[in-house]
Structure 1
Amino acid sequence: MIKVKFMPQNIEVVCKYKDNLLEVARKANIFIDAPCNGNVSCGKCKVKIINGRVDTKKTTHITDEEFDSGYVLACNSKVIEDIQVEVPSKLSSSMNKMKIEDSSSDVYKKLLENCKQLISKNHMEFKSYVRKNYVTIELPNLDDNISDFDRIKRHLRNTFGYEKVTCKIETIRKIPNILREGNFNVTITHIPKAGNTTNIVNIESGDTTDKFYGVALDIGTTSVAACIVDLYKGKIVAKASSGNAQIKYGADVINRIIYSTKKDGLEKLNKAIVHETINPILESMYNELGIDKNDITALVAGGNTTMTHLLLNVYPDYLRMEPYIPAFSKSPYIQAKELEIEINSDAYIYITPCVASYVGGDITAGVLSSGIWSSDENVLFIDLGTNGEIVFGNKDYLMTCACSAGPAFEGGEISCGMRASSGAIEKIRIDKDTLNPTLGIISNDKPQGICGSGIIDLIAEMLVNNIIDRRGKINENINSNRIRFDENEIGEYVLAFKEDYNIERDITITEVDIDSFIRAKGAVYSGIITLVESLGMDFDMIDKVLIAGGIGSSLNIEKSILIGMLPDVDKNKYSYIGNSSLMGCYLALTSEDARCKLEECSDSMTYVELSVYPSYMDEFISACFLPHTDIEKFPSVKASLGC
C-alpha cells in the first residue's frame, strides 16, 4: 500500500499502486474542484507534488514553469510511491465559499410577499398537506376497553370525519406510553389522503402545536438552499444554504450522470447530496432555532431531473441518451427514513414533479411561484444556472425547453473561469482610453478567476471598446500590454496581472474562451427564439421577462442583450425573481391548494426538444456571433455599436 498525505489538511490516506490521484482525494473527502469530472479537459484540478513522484503527463493546462515546480493535474496523475500533495486553498475552499444569494434580501422578501398575494388572489388556502391537532382521547375503562390505536381512530373519525386511519409500526410502538404520559391528552400529526383517510406520522404527549415546522428545499446542481417554515403562521423562521457536495464529481449534470455509472458512483453521489449537503444544512437551522429534527414533519424539495434521480438513488444514465427518458416524472410521497434525511423519520417528503429529462421540478416550482399560470400577459421565464431552462406562456398555455449551454455560466470551459465564490471577478468596466479594467471581486478578495456574470460583462466591454470584433476575435492592431498573442496567434486579454495582485498567474480571457462562451450564450438565445416562434409569435409579443437562477442576481441585463444572450426588448420588461424554485417549494409546503396547482402546471407544460426541432440548429449558428449574424434583431445594440 502507498501513503498519500494531503496538505494543508494534514490528512494521510493509503491507496493502491497506480490509483488515480483525484479519486484518492475523493475517497479521503478532500475537495478538489474538477468540473470536467476527470476528463483532463478543464485543467481546474491542479495540485502540487511536494514530495515523491506520480505517473503523469504534462498538458496544455500546465505551463513549463508550473510543471517544473511540481504542478500536475490530479485527474491525470497515478500514484506510484509515497507522496505529499499540496492542494491550493482556492481549490479546497471554493465550495464552502460559494456566493449564494442571501434569502433575507429585499428580492426574496418581495418575492415571498408576491407569492402570498398570488395565493390569496386565486382564492387558495394556506393549509399544508400535513395537519397537527391537539386532542383529548376518551379514557379507557372496563366498559370501553378497545385498544389504544382503535381509541385514537374512533376519536379522529368522530371529530374530523376520517373513515380510515393508518400509521407505521414505529408509531404503534410509541402510542401506549405517549397516551399515558399525557393522561390521554396528545398531539397527533397526520397527513390526510383521498377517501376520508389519514395517516398518522407522529404522536406526542401534551400540546406541542407550537412546534409545527416544515422545510422547503431547493437542490441545485451547484448550490442547495433551504428554509424552515412555521406551518401555522406561514412564516420562514430559518434559512441556510451551501454548495452541493456533488461538485467534486463534476460541475454539470452530464458529468455526474457519467460518474453514477461507475462502481459505487450512484451511492457516492447520493451520499454527497443527503449526508454531506442536506443534513448539515438542516442541522445548522435546528441549532439556530433550538429545535429537534422530530419537530419537522413535512418537507418539499425541488431540483432538476438529474438531481431528483440522484436524491432518490435512482439510476439516471438514460436521461442523457436519446430519446432522453427519465425513470419517473412524479415521485410518490416518500418517508424521510427511506432517504436518511434528518427530519422526523415518519414524515413524508414531497418532490416537485419534473416535465422532461432536462426540465425538472425546480422549473415547475419556479413556474408556480412566478405566477405565469395565472397571468393574462405573455411571460418569458428564464432560469440561468448550471443549466439553462426556459418557459414561455400565460394562463392558457405553458411551453418549455432546455438549452445546452454547458457549464460556461459557472465558469466551466473557460481557462480562468470559476464559480461565483470568494475571489471571483463578477463585474467589470473597461476604460475606453487606457483599456484598463475596473474589477468587482466577490468578498473583495484577491482575484482568483472570473465567474459567469463577470464573463458577460467582460465580453460586452471588450466589444464596445473594439478589443474584439463581432466574431469574438481580438484586434491585432491595438497597442496595449493587455493584448497578447501566443505562438499559434491565439489572442488573449489580460484582466489582472499577477504582479499587481500577488497571485500565482495572470488572469486572462482568450479567443478560445470567448468562442466557448459565445456558443453558450447562443444556445440560450436560440432556445428562446425557437420556443417563442414555435407558437407563431415574435419578441414584440413578450410582455414580461423573468430571470431566475444563480447567475441572475449579478446579471447585467443591458450587457446580456449587448452580447446577444437575451432578446432585445424593452429593459423595463425584465425583472429578477431570485430563487423561484425555493419559493415554489415554500408554496407547495404551506398550501395544499398551491401543491395541487403545481401538479396542474407540470401536467400542462408542453416540452419542446430543441435537438430535433427543425429550425433550432440554424438559429443556434446564427446566434454564435456578437450579438447575432442578423444585427437587425438587436436594434439597440446596432445603435450603440454604430453598425
Structure 2
Amino acid sequence: MIRVKFIPENIEINCDYGDNLLEVARKADVFIDAPCNGNVSCGKCKVKLIKGKVDTKKTYHIKDEEWNEGYILACNSKVIEDIEIEVPSKLSSSMDKMKIEDLSTERDKQIFQRTKKLLIDNNMKLKSYVRKDYIEIDIPNLDDNISDWDRIKRHLRNYLGYTKVFCRLQMLRKIPHILRQSNFKVTITHIPRGNDRTTIVNMEEGDTTNRLYGVALDIGTTSVAACLVDLYKGELIAKASSGNAQIKYGADVINRIIYSTKKDGLDQLNRAIIHETINPLLNKMCKDSGVDKNEIIAFVCAGNTTMSHLLLGVYPDYLRLEPYIPTFLKAPFIKASELELDINPETFLYIVPSVASYVGGDITAGVLASGIWASDENVLFIDLGTNGEIVFGNKDYLMTCACSAGPAFEGGEISCGMRAASGAIEKVKIDRDTFKPNLKIIGDTKPEGICGSGIIDLIAEMMIIGIIDRRGKINKNINSRRIRFDEHGIGEYVIAFKEDYDLEKDITITEVDIDSFIRAKGAVYSGASTLIESLGMDFSVIDKVYIAGGIGNSLDIEKSIIIGLLPDIDRNKFSYVGNSSLMGCYLTLMSEDARYKLEECSNAMTYVELSVYPSYMDEFVSACFLPHTNIENFPTVKKILEV
C-alpha cells in the first residue's frame, strides 16, 4: 500500500501502485476541479508535489517555472510511492464560494411577482395539490371495535366525502402510535385525486393545519439552488444553494455520462447529487426556518435530461450515442424514501419533464415561468449555462434546440477561467491608451480568475481597441508589457500581474482560450439562427429576447452583441429572466393548474436536432468569427469597428 497525503486538508489515504492521482483524491473526498474529467485537456487539476515522486509527464498546461516548482496535473499522474500533495486553495474552495442565482435579488423578486401574476391573469389557481385536514376520530370501544385504518376511512368518507382512501406501508406503521398519543385527534396530510379519492402521506398529533411546506429545486450541471415554500402563503421562507458535487467528475454532461459507465461511476454520481448536494441544502433550509423535515410534503425539481437520469440513478449513456435516446422524458412520481432524500419519506418527488436528450426539464420550467406560452409576440429564450438551450415561439408554437457550447460560459476550457465565485473577474474595461484593464471582482477581493461574463467583456474590449483582430488573434505590433508571445508564437494578454495582487502567477488569456470561447459563442448564435431559419424567418421577427441562466445576471448585452453571441437587434428587446428553472418549479409546486400547463408546454415543444440540420454547420463556421464573417449581420458593431 502507498500513502498519499493532501494538504492543507491534512487528509491521508492508502492506494495501490499506479493509481491515478485524481481518482485517489476523489476517493479521499478531496475536491480537485477537473472539468475535462481527466482527459488532460483542460489543465485545471494542477497540484503541487511536495514530497515523493509520481509517474507523470509535462504538458503544455504547465509552464517551465511551474514544472520546476513541482506542479503536476493530477489526472496525468500515477502514484508510485508515498507522496504529499498540496491542493491550491482556489481548487478546493471554489464549490463553497460559487455565486448562484436563487431568486434572492431585487430583480428576481420583481420577476417572481410578475410570473405569479401571469398565472392568475390566465385563470390559474395558486393552490397546492397537497391538503391538510384536522380530524377528530371516534375512539374505539367494545361496541365500535373496527380497525384503526377502517376507522380513519370511515371518518373521511362521512365527513370529507372520500370513498377511496389509500396509504403506503410506512404510513400504516405510524398509525397506531399517533392515534393513541393524540387521543385520536390528528391532522392528516393527503393528496386528493378527484372528488372521492385521496392518499394519506402524513399524520401528526393535534391541529397542525397551519403548517404545510414544499421544496422547489433547480439541479444545474454546475450549481444547485433550492427554495423552501410555505404552501399556504406561497412565500419563500428559506433558500439555499451550492455547487453541484458532481463537478468533480467533469464540468459538462458528456464527461459525467462517460464517468457513469465506469465501475461504480453511476452510484458515485447519484450519491454526489443526493447525499453531497441536495440533502445538505434541505438540512440547511430546515435549520434556518425551524421547519421539521417531516413537514416537507411536496417536492418539485428540474434539471437537464442528464441530471434527471443521474438523480434517479438511471444509466444515461444512450443519451450521447446516436440516435440519442433517453430512458425517459417524463418520470413517474418518485417517493423521497426511494432516493434517500432527507425529508418526509412519503413525499412524492415530481421531476419536470424533459423534451429531448439535450433539452431538459429546466427548459420546460423556464418556458412556463417566462410566459412564452401565453405571448402574442415572438420570443427567443436563451439559457446560458454549462449547456446552451434555446426556445423560440409564442402561444401558437414552440421550437427548441440545444447547442454544444460546452462549459466555456462557466469558465471551463479557459486557462484562467473559473465559475462565478468570490475572486472571479466579472466585469472588464480596458484603457485605450495604456491597455490596462479596470476589473470588477466578485467579493471585492483579489482576482483568482475570470468567469463567463468577464470573458465576454474582455474579448469585446480587446477587439474594440485592436488588441485582437476579428479572428481572435493578438496584434503583434502593439508595444505593451501586457502582450507577449511564447516560443510557439501563441499570444497572450495579461489581465492581472501577480506582483500587483500578490498572486502565485499572472492571470492571462491566450489565443487558444479566445478561440475556445469564440466557438462557444458561435454555437449559441448559430443555434438560434438555425432554429429561427427552420421556420423560414430571421432575427428581424423577434419581439423579445429572454436571457436565463447564471451568467445572465452579470451579462453585458451590448458586449455580447459586439462579440456575436447575441443578434444585433434593438437592445430594448432584451431582458433577464433570472433562474427561470427554479421559478418554474415554484409555480408547479404551488399550482396544479401550472403543472398541467407545464406538461402541455413540454408536449408542445418541437425539437430541432442541429447536427442533422443541413445549414447548421455552415452557420456555425460563419459565427466562429468576431462578431461574424458577415459583418452586415451586425450593423451597429460594424460602425463601432470602423470608428
In which range does the TM-score fall when normalised by the shorter chain? over 0.9
Residue 109 of structure 1 aligns with which residue?
109
Matches within 5 A, 1:427-438: 427-438=427-438
SS at match of 2:443: helix
Residue 585 of structure 1 aligns with which residue?
585
> TM-score scaled by structure 2?
0.98
The answer to whether 1:10 aligns with 2:16 is: no
- Distance in 2 (CA, whole Å) between partners of 1:597 and 1:137 is 38
Shift of 1:354: 0.3
- Distance in 2 (CA, whole Å) between partners of 1:361 and 1:511 is 36
Shift of 1:554: 0.8
- Distance in 2 (CA, whole Å) between partners of 1:82 and 1:405 is 40
Residue 59 of structure 2 aligns with which residue?
59
- Distance in 1 (CA, whole Å) between partners of 2:546 and 2:158 is 49
The answer to whether 1:127 aligns with 2:130 is: no
- Distance in 1 (CA, whole Å) between partners of 2:537 and 2:135 is 58
Shift of 1:194: 5.2
- Distance in 2 (CA, whole Å) between partners of 1:161 and 1:637 is 67
Residue 462 of structure 1 aligns with which residue?
462
- Distance in 2 (CA, whole Å) between partners of 1:497 and 1:473 is 21
Matches within 5 A, 1:125-204: 125-193=125-193, 196-204=196-204
SS at match of 2:14: strand
SS at match of 1:443: coil
- Distance in 2 (CA, whole Å) between partners of 1:438 and 1:239 is 33
Residue 595 of structure 2 aligns with which residue?
595
The answer to whether 1:616 aligns with 2:616 is: yes
The answer to whether 1:91 aligns with 2:91 is: yes
- Distance in 1 (CA, whole Å) between partners of 2:194 and 2:102 is 39
Matches within 5 A, 1:381-392: 381-392=381-392
Matches within 5 A, 1:128-527: 128-193=128-193, 196-527=196-527
- Distance in 2 (CA, whole Å) between partners of 1:81 and 1:372 is 59
- Distance in 1 (CA, whole Å) between partners of 2:328 and 2:101 is 31
SS at match of 2:432: coil
Shift of 1:392: 0.6
Counterpart AA for 1:63:
K
- Distance in 2 (CA, whole Å) between partners of 1:526 and 1:119 is 33
- Distance in 1 (CA, whole Å) between partners of 2:102 and 2:607 is 32
Shift of 1:36: 0.4
SS at match of 1:551: helix
The answer to whether 1:28 aligns with 2:28 is: yes
Residue 530 of structure 2 aligns with which residue?
530
Stretch moving more, 156-165 or 212-221: 156-165
- Distance in 2 (CA, whole Å) between partners of 1:224 and 1:133 is 33
- Distance in 2 (CA, whole Å) between partners of 1:358 and 1:567 is 23
> TM-score scaled by structure 1?
0.98
- Distance in 2 (CA, whole Å) between partners of 1:475 and 1:384 is 30
SS at match of 1:92: helix
Residue 565 of structure 2 aligns with which residue?
565
Counterpart AA for 2:576:
Y
Stretch moving more, 207-216 or 335-344: 207-216
Where in structure 2 are there 5+ consecutive unaligned residues? none
Counterpart AA for 1:301:
C
- Distance in 2 (CA, whole Å) between partners of 1:30 and 1:579 is 30
Shift of 1:72: 0.6
SS at match of 1:444: coil
Counterpart AA for 2:533:
E
Counterpart AA for 1:460:
A
Counterpart AA for 1:559:
K
SS at match of 2:95: coil
Shift of 1:502: 1.5
Q: 1:110-130: CA deviations, max 9, x gaps?
A: 121012101110111112121
RMSD of aligned alpha carbons: 1.2
- Distance in 2 (CA, whole Å) between partners of 1:106 and 1:540 is 32
Shift of 1:102: 5.3
SS at match of 1:600: helix
Shift of 1:285: 0.8
Where in structure 1 are there 5+ consecutive unaligned residues? none
- Distance in 2 (CA, whole Å) between partners of 1:325 and 1:14 is 40
Shift of 1:82: 0.8
Shift of 1:190: 1.1
Q: 1:111-150: CA deviations, max 9, x gaps?
A: 2101210111011111212111112223334443322111
Stretch moving more, 178-187 or 77-86: 178-187
* Native 8 Å contact 2:378 2:394 kept in 1: yes
Shift of 1:193: 2.7
- Distance in 2 (CA, whole Å) between partners of 1:447 and 1:559 is 21
- Distance in 2 (CA, whole Å) between partners of 1:127 and 1:151 is 29
SS at match of 1:455: helix
- Distance in 2 (CA, whole Å) between partners of 1:53 and 1:632 is 57
The answer to whether 1:545 aligns with 2:508 is: no
Q: 1:258-303: CA deviations, max 9, x gaps?
A: 0000000000000000000000011111111122110101100000
Counterpart AA for 1:229:
V
Shift of 1:104: 1.9
* Native 8 Å contact 2:101 2:225 kept in 1: no
SS at match of 2:62: coil
Residue 46 of structure 2 aligns with which residue?
46
Q: 1:297-326: CA deviations, max 9, x gaps?
A: 110000000110000000000111111111
Shift of 1:160: 3.1
Assess, with a 3 A threshold, how the Cα gap between structure 1 residues 103 and 199 changes in structure 2: closer, same or farther. same
Shift of 1:510: 1.1
Stretch moving more, 61-70 or 559-568: 61-70
Residue 575 of structure 1 aligns with which residue?
575
Counterpart AA for 2:304:
N
Counterpart AA for 2:77:
S
Q: 1:156-177: CA deviations, max 9, x gaps?
A: 2233332311111111111122
